[in-house]
Amino acid sequence: MLRPEPGRPESPRDARPGGGGGEEGEEGNPFDFAPQPVRLHRDHELFEDGDVLRHLYLQDLYVSEEAEDKRALCVSEFACHFSSCSAVFSSLEEYEHHYNSLHRHVCCSCRRSLPSARLLDLHIQEWHDSLFTILAQRQDMYQCLVEGCGQKFRTSKHRKDHLVRIHKYPPDFRFDKTKKNRGTQQTKGQQQKDTAMEVVDEVCEGTSDPPEQGESMETYVCEEEAARMATPASSEEHADVSAADPSTESPSTEPPKARFSYRIPTTVCFGHGSVRGFRGRRGRRK
Amino acid sequence: MWRLNKVRHKAVRHGDSLEELKLKRREHERALRQARRDRQLVSKRLLLNDDEDQPEVTMDTNTGEQDAVGLFLKLQHGGPGREAHLEALSKVLRDPSAQLAFLKQENSMHLLVGFLTGSDATCRLQAVRCLHELSHSPHASVSSACLPATPYLLTYLSGQSTKFTELCLYTLGNLCPDSDAVKEKLLAQGIIPALANCLENQRHNLAVVEAVGFTLSQFLQAKNAAEKIIPAVLASSLPSNLLSVLTPDPKFGLAPAIECAWCLHYLACSMKDNRELLAHGALLQCSSLLVSLGGAVAEGNKEEGLELFICPLLRCVGNLLSSCPVKELSTQAGDVRIVAALCTLVQAFLQSRPALARESAWVLNNLTALSSASCSALLTLNLVPGLMKLLPFSQGINTMILRILANIAHKKKHFCAQLTRCGLLSALCATLKMADQEMVTLSMDVLYMLVVGGPQVAEEFVKQGGFPLLEALQYNGEGAIRRRATHLLERHLLSCSSYCSENVPCS
C-alpha cells in the first residue's frame, strides 16, 4: 500500500549491523529494511478520506465525530502459513487452535500431521524406525492406541481387533487401509506397509471418510471440526497437512520445497512439540 | 457569514428523519469519493446573509423565473427602489432556474456590472450578492457568465469593507474551478498578487482571512497548479502570511486557520522541493501547533471540527519532513514532544477517524526515519507499549506502526534492548501469524534487528514459542518471506541454548 520513495539519503546513525546490507562478510542476507520517510503527493489514496471530509465541510455537510456512523475498525486477519493450507482466521485464538490441531505434531519424515504428541511418537516408531520393524518380527510391538491400556500386539491387525473388541471402536474406523501409490509423488524411503494404522483423533466420533488422498496415515480430523476451525479454500487439505508435499498442492502453485538443513543431525528434533522425526532425508521429493 | 460554530446541514428540512439524513449524507460522501478518484473533487461555498441560518431555496420555480425577469426589467427601467429590487433579486437568484431566466435576458450581466461599479455603495453590495449567488451555480454556463465582472471584483479586494470583500472573494473562489479558461483569465488578471495584498493588509480581519484562504485553496487544487500557480504563490508574501495566521483565535474559531492550513498542505504536497516553505519556518510552526493540539486532545478538549485543522497540519509536517535536509532537522522540527502528540492523535482518532490515525502514524514514521532523537523520545516517554497495542489494526495502521518500531530498532543497538523490554517479541509472535505479507516481512525485519542487537533475544524468542512460527514461514508462498525465515532459523535461532535444551531425540 505504501512504499518508501527510493533515493532518499539515509540519516546518519550508529554503525551497526542491521538493515541495509546486513552483517559484514555475510552473503545472502535477505534483510534490507532501511528507515525511509515517505512523501505523499496530493492525489495519494491515503489522503482520500481527509479530502472527502474537507469537501463535506465546504459543502456544509460536515458531521462531527460523535454524530458520525461508527464503522467497526478492521483488525488484521491471521493466516496459516503452510502454503498448502490456505486457512484464514479473524482471531489469534482461532489461528492457535487450527495450528495446534493440524500442524503441531508433524512427522518430519513424511510430513504427516498427527493429532497428539503420543500418536506422533507411535507413528514415527511404527513407520520410520527400522529397529521397530526388526523387533516387530519377533515380539509384540504394536501398542494399543488407547492411552493407559498398555497392551501390545504382534501386528496392527491384532491391535485393531483389540481396539474394536475391547475399546469398542467402530469396526469401520479407518483401520488397515493399504497404502496406495500416489503416482510419481511417492515418497521414497518410506517404509512400505501392508497394514496401516489409522491415526485418529480419539474424541472423533464420526467415521466419515477422510478426504481421499490415497495414502494412509493421514491425520483424520472430524469434518465438523475442520469446518469449525477455519474458512479455508480447501478444507480437505487439513487432513494432509504436509506443507511441502507436492501431491497436496494444486499444480498451478509453485510449491515451496521443504528445507533440510545439513547441519542438523538426523536424530535431533526441533522445538518442543513441533516437527519431529528424522530429518535430513535427501531426495525424498521430486 | 459562514462560521464553523454552527453545524449546519444543507439537507436539513422539516420532516427529514435521522435515517434519511444519514442516507443522504452517505450518498454525498460516495459522490465526493468518486469525484476524487476522477480528480474532479471541487466545491463551492455559499455565503449566507446575516439573517439566514440555512440556505433556503424557494420551492416555486415558476415564481422565481418570473420574479427574476420582472426585477431585471424594473432595474433596467431605472428609477427609485433600485436597492430594494437588487436585494430581492439576490434572493431570487438562489434558485437555479431563476438564474437561467435572468441570464437569458439581454444585457443582464451588463446591468449587474453597472451596479457593481456604480457610485451607490448599497447597490454595489447587492450587486455583488447577486453575482455571488450566480457563481455558486454548478452549471458552468451560469458562472462563466460572471466573467465580465471579475476585473472589478479583483480591484475591490484592496478595499476595506469586510462584508463586501468577503463576497468578492468567495465569488472569485467559486468561479475558479469551473474551467481552465476561467482560471487562466483570473490568473492573467492578477488574482495571486491581489490575494497576497489582501491577506497582507487584512490579516487582522479573520473573516477576510478565511475568505482569502478558501479562494487561494481553490486555485492551489488546480490540476496544473504546480507549473503555473504554485511558483507564483511561493514567490509572494502569501506563505509567510498564511503561517502568521495559522494559530487559531479562540474567540473567532477555527475556520480561518483551517483554510490557511489546507493552503499550506496543497503547497507542500505539490512540490518535491519545499525549501521555500521550510525557509519560512513552516515545519517548525506546524509541528508546534500539533504539539499544542495533541495536548488539547489528550486533555479531552476536542473542539468540534478540530480534525479539519489537524489533518492538513499533519500532512504538512509529514511532507515537509520528507523534504527537509537532515542537517536542518533539529532546527526545523526541534521539539521532540511532537512524538507524544502524534501518539495521542493516533489513539484518539483510531475509532472515529481511522484515516487520520493512519496519517498521524505516517508522520511518526517520517519523523523516526530521520531523527534519532525522536526514536529516543518514544522510548523515554514510554510510548512504545501504546503503539504496540495498535498492531492488530489493519487498513495500513499496523504496517505503519511496525515501520515506526523498525525505525527505532534500526537506529541503535540499545534501542533494540529497550524495545525487547517493552515486550515486542510477544507482539511479533502475533504479527508473524498475520495474513498480511507486509506485516510478516516487516515483523521478521524487526526480529532480525532485535536478535542481532542482543545475545539473549534469540533465546527469549524461542522460549516464547517463536520457533515454530518461523518454521511454518519457510513454507510461505512468498520468496522474500521464506528467505528471511530460513536465515533467522539457520543463522540465529538454531544455536541458541533454549532451543537445544528441548531437543527430543526421536525413537
Summarised one tens digit per residue, pLDDT across range B367-406 is: 999 999 999 999 999 999 999 999 998 888 999 999 999 9
CA B353 to chain centroid, in Å, comes to: 13
Exposed/middle/buried for residue B252 (C-beta within 10 Å: 0-12, 13-18, 19+):
middle
For residues B384 and B382, give the distance between their C-alpha atoms in angstroms, rounded to a whole number.
6
Q: Can you count the helices (H) and strands (E) in chain A? A: 6, 6
To the nearest whole Å, the CA of A37 is away from the closest chain B CA by 4
pLDDT band at A83 (very low <50, low <70, confident <90, very high): low
For residue A275, the chain B residues in CB contact (below 8 A) are: 468, 471
Hey, is the C-beta of B493 within 8 angstroms of any chain A C-beta?
A: no
pLDDT at A269 over 90: no
Position of cell 479539519?
Answer: B308
In chain B, positions 164-203, which contact chain A (CB-CB < 8 Å)? none
Q: Which of B328-332, B376-380, B503-507 has the lowest mean pLDDT?
A: B503-507
| Longest CA span, chain A | 90
> Do the strands A88-89 and A78-79 form a parallel or antiparallel pair, or are they unpaired?
antiparallel
Q: How many residues does chain B have?
A: 507
C-beta atoms surrounding B356 within 10 Å: 22
pLDDT band at A17 (very low <50, low <70, confident <90, very high): very low
pLDDT band at A9 (very low <50, low <70, confident <90, very high): very low
pLDDT tens per residue across span B153-212: 999 999 889 999 999 999 999 999 988 888 999 999 999 999 999 999 999 999 999 999
Q: Average pLDDT over chain B, rounded to whole?
A: 89
For residues B44 and B48, give the distance between their C-alpha atoms in angstroms, rounded to a whole number.
13
Hey, is the C-beta of A149 within 8 angstroms of any chain B C-beta?
A: no
Name the residue facing A92 among B430, B483, B504 (closest C-beta): B430
ipTM at complex level: 0.91
8 Å CB contact of A53 and B502: no
Q: What is the pTM of this model?
A: 0.76
Hey, is the C-beta of B365 within 8 angstroms of any chain A C-beta?
A: yes
Q: How far apart are the first and last CA of chain B?
A: 86
pLDDT at B443: 96
Nearest to A29 by CA among B121, B490, B467, B390: B490
Name the residue facing A56 among B29, B319, B395 (closest C-beta): B29
pLDDT at A188 over 50: no
